[in-house]
Amino acid sequence: MCPQSRMQGTVLQVNISPGGLPKYPIQEAVVTPFGIEGDSCAHPEVHGGLEKALLIVCSEVIEELKERGHPLFPGALGENLTTAGLDRRQLRTGQQFRVGSAFIELTRIRRPCSSLDTIGAGLQTELFDAAVKAGDTHSPRWGMSGFYARVLRPGTVRPNDIIQLVGQVV
């Protein structure tokens, strides 16, 4: 069995906002094809929609950046799902996950925007570089900015739910 087929973690936090950063925790989310009910994007022309319904960030990234002096917490990067236990270096577009009772598919790596400048100077460059932009999975920054996902099957997601890789679109 391939190690990626056993990739799993947990949902540390589920986050929403009326638009913009940060997003704040909720105890339960109804996930629809357009994202989490009650969540809004400040710039819907850039974020959201069917291909960017959810943003997922690994909590390990947040911790790493906090150690470098960035004042972060789960939800600060604008993510809907803060996960624990997933190896960001192994995440790829096309991977399909069961999360709570929903099924999602990673569609693209997030390109950080200037909204992150309000958190701290240099944060964008710590999350994303030219190698990541070119799709180089060997970049030390791979996956730090998070991944967008589409919703394949709506459902409910809560903190402590398992997020598990169930398939890969080639």
pTM reported for the whole predicted model: 0.95
Average pLDDT, the chain: 94
For a pLDDT cut of 90, what percent of the chain falls above it? 83
* Gap between the terminal Cα atoms of the chain: 18
Taking only the tens place, the pLDDT of each residue in 88-140 is: 999 999 999 999 999 999 999 999 887 888 888 889 999 999 999 999 999 99
Query: Is residue 47 within 8 Å of residue 23, measured between CB atoms?
Result: no
Q: What is the DSSP letter of 18?
A: S
pLDDT of residue 1: 40
> How would you classify the pairing of strands 162-168 and 35-36?
unpaired
Q: Which of the four pLDDT bands, split at 50, 70 and 90, describes residue 3?
A: very low
Task: Specify the CATH number for the domain of residue 47.
Answer: 2.40.33.20
**CB-CB neighbours of 125 under 10 Å:** 10
Q: For the chain, what is the radius of gyration of the CA atoms?
A: 15
CA pair distance 61, 58, nearest whole angstrom: 6
pLDDT of residue 5: 54
Domain count, the chain: 1
pLDDT of residue 116: 86
142 has pLDDT over 80: yes
Containing structural domain, residue 130: 3-168
